[in-house]
Amino acid sequence: MQTLKNEKSSYLHKGIAQRSFEKRFKLADHVHVTSASYEHGMLNIDLVKEIPEALKPKRIEITNSKTINGKIS
């Protein structure tokens, strides 16, 4: 058994646990999982946020009451 010592802590073993565990996350609206991979002890999850056209910001042109079609009247 290897003991690692630090000024603040003392460890019997330091590493990634091999036991099973479960963690759940609630994703925001319009966020979807596109892929997931597990490599070298790391779980990578790719997410995409797809905002519907109805919820995207819209640009509205504001005109001066004296300006019509870009001309001053």
pLDDT tens, residue by residue, 8-51: 777 776 777 778 888 899 999 999 999 999 998 889 999 999 99
Total structural domains in the chain? Answer: 1
Q: Is residue 36 part of a domain?
A: yes
Q: Is residue 47 part of a domain?
A: yes
Q: Which 8-state DSSP code applies to residue 27?
A: P
pTM above 0.85, yes or no: no
Which structural domain range is residue 29 located in?
25-52
pLDDT by residue (tens digit) across 4-17?
554 677 777 677 77
Q: Is residue 33 part of a domain?
A: yes
Q: Is residue 18 part of a domain?
A: no
Residues 63, 8: Cα–Cα separation, whole Å: 66
Give the pLDDT of residue 6.
Answer: 47
Give the pLDDT of residue 5.
Answer: 52
Q: Is the separation of the CB atoms in 31 and 25 below 8 Å?
A: no
Q: Is residue 15 part of a domain?
A: no
Residues 11, 5: Cα–Cα separation, whole Å: 6
Q: Is residue 46 part of a domain?
A: yes
